[in-house]
Amino acid sequence: MTERPEPTAVRRPWTVWAALAMVAVEVAALLVSAGFFVVLSRSGSTDVATSLLSLAVMFGVLALGLVAVIMGLYRMHRWARPATVAWQVLLILFGLSVLGSGWLLPVGSIVPAVLCIVALFAPPSLRAYGAAITEHEAQARAAQDALSAKVAAASGEGTDGEVGVDGAGSAERAEGAGRSSRSTRRSGPTKSVGGSKKK
């Protein structure tokens, strides 16, 4: 069994780890909220319970999506950074929309989102991400070249087989021509004497 390779050899700076920590905090908040909605649904009416359970399911799905984003950020894939930024922008807009409903919800939404965006676009994160993307592209090119080499090798084996069949047919034709030449030599040449042919 082969050991699973490291996702990337590029060293992750502390700013990347800070962005990962902010997204992990957001995942924890979503899961806690989903559990809170499930608890509330048991003590309410049927219509309210259905709505709360739907919110709990939605928050759980969002949490799973953010777990995938965390894995992409850890591996420093190209798609993970814009996905993270888009989610943080949504959180900031949500926090701004609930500014009049106390301070806990707006601060809990806006502060982690701003910190995550700042950490992602800090110079150490940009340098590490650029190096990781370059490494991923080099690995993709190497895999594509290896696949092309395998396809070319398979095509070469098929061509060799066809040449072998043609070579065997040519050998048989040459052998038949040799037998015809030997039979002509054994019969000897013919001479014409007085208009008649004698052997």
Instruction: Find out whether 111 and 91 touch, Cβ atoms under 8 Å.
Output: no
User: Mean of the pLDDT values across residues 51-76?
Assistant: 93
Is the pLDDT at 82 greater than 60? The verdict is yes
Note the pTM of the prediction, 2 decimals. 0.67
How do residues 151-196 score in pLDDT, each as one tens digit? 888 887 655 544 444 444 554 554 555 555 554 444 444 444 444 4
Residue ranges per structural domain of the chain: 14-127
C-alpha to C-alpha distance for 12 and 141, rounded to whole angstroms: 23
Nearest-CA neighbor of 115 among 27, 33, 23, 31?
Answer: 23
